Structure 1
Amino acid sequence: MTAERRRALLNTNPFNAGDIVTALEMDSYAPFPFLPPIRTGDRGGVYEFRTYRLKPGGLPPTLAGWEAAIEPARAYTEHLVVNMYALDGAPRITHIWGFASLEERAELRSSAYGAGVWPPKGGPDQIAEATSTIALPQGPFPLA
């Protein structure tokens, strides 16, 4: 990882994309250790990328809460593509979800919240800031 970062930083054209690349930002993550490996295949046409910047010391209780909540919230969490924690920078987690539609996302979240199985217990207490991005792939997408 360090070698690849160095290569990109010291290269005048790091990805052979010429003037198309106007900025470069690199973040390092590790997957939550209790989640299965990422599986490819049809995950729907709507992806949500959500990042939570955590309070200092917030990662251990976040991991514990997620591990306890995954199975009880299965109808919702089966749409989880991956959840990762940052290895550098501010303490944070980023997770990616795949849904057939925004309506499906809203219905599943509402059901999980209503049943009290989501969000993970204690999770929201650890969040300092949250961002969410909805992505609609254009053309082939390795997760779809």
Structure 2
Amino acid sequence: MMGRLRFKSRLGALRFVFQIGFPRSLLENADLITKGRAKVFDWYTKVNRAHEFLKQQLERGKLLRSRHLQYLLSFSYWPPVVAREGPNIYEIRSYRLKPGTMIEWGNNWARAINYRRNNDEPFAAFFSQIGRLYNVHHIWCYKDLQARKETRESAWRSPGWDECVAYTVPLIREMHSRVLHPTSFSPTQ
């Protein structure tokens, strides 16, 4: 697993930065799901007490218009997150689902992911546990915008993809798509 993945927006919400952090102390615990919330709050409390962290937060706060924090878990059916050789672009499709529909979403996508594996574009998929609930983030990796277009058109030509879309669209309250580029210091390119 990688440390922190960092991306900046090129299309969609401009001046948008997306960061996914994998705190090592949390990831090493196999019992994260059952005891995870207590560990997250303990970790968060320790980090917020660190003087340098607080100083950095105050400085960065002057540059931010808004900030949203979520504690996310991976979907079990999605391939594991692995670093990619670049250059690549990443599309983050974020969905706010209707309350109570997460299991139905997961069941449909467990089948649908098979239609999108052809070009090795699935990168990561997460759902929120703390913060804005019923949020899902699918992250796709493409060589460029043309590859994105071709891959998405290919999925629509696959029998069964339209069925997945028909079942999942009614579960969505809101969705956003952003095309991002990894920062120069991100572990994945």
TM-score range normalised by the length of the shorter chain: 0.7 to 0.9
Contact 2:71 2:129 in 1 (8 A): yes
Greater fraction helix:
2
Residues 1:27 and 1:61: Cα distance change in structure 2 (over 3 Å): same
Task: Tell me the amino acid that sits aligned with residue 71 of structure 2.
Answer: S
Percent identical pairs in the alignment equals 22
2:127 to 75, 81, 85: 85
2:178 to 108, 133, 144: 133
* TM-score w.r.t. length of structure 2: 0.65
CA displacement 1:91-133 (0-9 Å, x = unmatched):
1101111110011101111121132443635111211000111
Task: Tell me the amino acid that sits aligned with residue 34 of structure 1.
Answer: Y
Spell out the pairing of 1:1-144 with structure 2 (5 A cutoff): 1-11=40-50, 13-14=52-53, 17=56, 20-22=59-61, 25-42=68-85, 44-75=87-118, 78-88=120-130, 89-118=132-161, 120-121=164-165, 122-144=167-189
Residues 1:123 and 1:18: Cα distance change in structure 2 (over 3 Å): closer
Task: Tell me the amino acid that sits aligned with residue 56 of structure 2.
Answer: A
Contact 1:73 1:117 in 2 (8 A): no
Residues 1:41 and 1:117: Cα distance change in structure 2 (over 3 Å): same
> Structure 1: which 5+ runs fail to align?
none
How far 1:36 moved relative to its partner?
Answer: 2.8
> Structure 2: which 5+ runs fail to align?
1-39
CA displacement 1:13-60 (0-9 Å, x = unmatched):
427636541155421010001223211132642111111000111101
* TM-score w.r.t. length of structure 1: 0.83
Aligned equivalents of 2:149, 2:128: Cα separation in 1: 27
